[in-house]
Structure 1
Amino acid sequence: MKKEFYRRNLPHYQPIGGTFFVTFNLADAIPKRVLDEWAKEFEIQKKSIQLFSQNFDEDLDKLIKLDFAKRDKYLDAANQGESWLKNDELALVVSESLHFWDKRTIDLFCFCIMSNHVHVVFRLLDNFEVKTPKYLDEVMHSIKRFSAKKCNEVLGKTGQFWQYESYDRLIRNDDERFRIIQYVVNNPVKAGLVIKPFEWKWTYLAESFKNIIG
């Protein structure tokens, strides 16, 4: 039986019907030594919070956000790896992989495909909307497996295409969802690639949000 909570290197909470912000990146975008160093730093700071914090949940959430910001800054610099997603043919594969699951297992709100990573926001459809709801790890496994296979075919290569683990965050309320969607569509602007969000070819925003997200 599938569970709402699972763990690899990071803990993941994945309730059916939940809305998630997910970031996944190419396998070579962040070296293993850097990931290991960050993981050690995170655990040290987490233990400090456990020992000394008067507001554990709030301080842990701040730590997680800082950890994500560090990763995203590293990815935006695109100083490591092949940056395969600069290739429009490969970016299209990823875009189609995300759109394929829209209204099948997820309600797709937005995504942005950068040169070496992808940001996406979606809601897991529940058992009132689909016959067999899928958990987050199942959805991400399907998206990454299909897109990796197709991208490797285009490149004429085999082997790992995506980093195995994705960063995911359960979005708690509408205000947080609004802020995160704004963050996603503005990622190419923040990275200095375009002046306006939708000048970036591989930014998608669902019609239902276009009247409130600028």
Structure 2
Amino acid sequence: MQHRNLPHIYPRGATFFITFCLYNALPNKVVKEIQEEYDLKINKIKKEQNSKDERNTSLYKLGKKYFADYDILLERYSRDDDFLKNTKVAQIIINKMKEYDGKRYDLLAYCVMSNHVHVLFCTADYENETVSKTMQLIKGGSAYESNQILKREGNFWQKESYDHYIRNDNELKNIVHYILENPVKAAIVKEWKQYPFSYLKDELM
């Protein structure tokens, strides 16, 4: 099941917080319900708000809420046998994110969980590189290599990524904390530095 109608907003040079998850990480019924609710609210905003700035602000706030709701669901439906718990697979994804660091973005933070990945990067010095293409490269390359390791075929990632662009330093700080605390909140480790599949750029320490 694919959902390709999220209202992605990609301001040039912005910092982005992106979550991407395994194919069918959530039950189709659950995804459909939350997506339908979201679509209704999007259409309401488009009909009732004539100003472009007002629409963008409302869509930004709505997207932020949807992003949080979706992430909660991913944690709720995480399973013991998810592919990303395979250390070789997790390392493939990490290597792929690092491959484009300094080429398409500045990699600020990431966390590879059991069924989803959080990544935070800044595109200020790479305005000619599109976020959608960047995610295609990360997901496409890691999917192929992961399937090879797992000796499987078929879809690996959900087509849609869930993105949010950062508006200020305070929001950046909160999102960095959120990313790093994921494995702590999931009771995998007591401190984020103990988790082998998390990263924070030195300048943000």
Same fold (TM over 0.5): yes
Which residue type is aligned with residue 171 of structure 1? I
**Which whole-Å CA distance do the structure 2 matches of 1:62 and 1:189 have between them?**
27
Q: Report the Cα offset of residue 65 of structure 1.
A: 2.6
For residue 161 of structure 1, what is the aligned residue in structure 2?
156
Which residue type is aligned with residue 8 of structure 2? H
Q: Report the Cα offset of residue 52 of structure 1.
A: 7.0
> Which of residues 32, 35, 48 in structure 1 aligns to 2:28?
32
For residue 17 of structure 1, what is the aligned residue in structure 2?
13
- SS of the residue aligned with 1:67? helix
- SS of the residue aligned with 2:8? strand
**Which whole-Å CA distance do the structure 1 matches of 2:48 and 2:134 have between them?**
37
TM-score (norm 1): 0.83
Q: Judging changes above 3 Å, is the alpha-carbon distance between structure 1 residues 155 and 172 closer, same or farther for their aligned structure 2 residues?
A: same
Q: Judging changes above 3 Å, is the alpha-carbon distance between structure 1 residues 88 and 43 closer, same or farther for their aligned structure 2 residues?
A: same
> Which of residues 145, 148, 155 in structure 1 aligns to 2:143?
148
Higher RCO (Cα < 8 Å, 6 or more apart): 2
Q: Report the Cα offset of residue 32 of structure 1.
A: 2.6
Moved more, 164-173 or 190-199: 190-199
- SS of the residue aligned with 2:95? helix
Structure 1 regions of 5+ residues with no counterpart? 1-6
Moved more, 74-83 or 186-195: 74-83
**Which whole-Å CA distance do the structure 2 matches of 1:15 and 1:62 have between them?**
15
**Which whole-Å CA distance do the structure 1 matches of 2:149 and 2:197 have between them?**
18
Q: Report the Cα offset of residue 186 of structure 1.
A: 0.8
- SS of the residue aligned with 1:142? helix
Give the structure with the higher percent helix.
2
Q: Report the Cα offset of residue 170 of structure 1.
A: 1.1
- SS of the residue aligned with 2:65? helix
Identity %: 37
Q: Deviation per CA, 1:171-209, whole angstroms, max 9, x where unpaired?
A: 112221111111111111122222211121111001111
Contact 1:28 1:80 in 2 (8 A): no
Q: Report the Cα offset of residue 46 of structure 1.
A: 3.6
Contact 1:21 1:168 in 2 (8 A): yes
Q: Report the Cα offset of residue 89 of structure 1.
A: 0.6
Q: Judging changes above 3 Å, is the alpha-carbon distance between structure 1 residues 134 and 191 closer, same or farther for their aligned structure 2 residues?
A: same
Counting matched residue pairs gives: 200
Moved more, 105-114 or 178-187: 178-187
Q: CA RMSD for the aligned pairs?
A: 2.4
Q: Judging changes above 3 Å, is the alpha-carbon distance between structure 1 residues 127 and 98 closer, same or farther for their aligned structure 2 residues?
A: closer
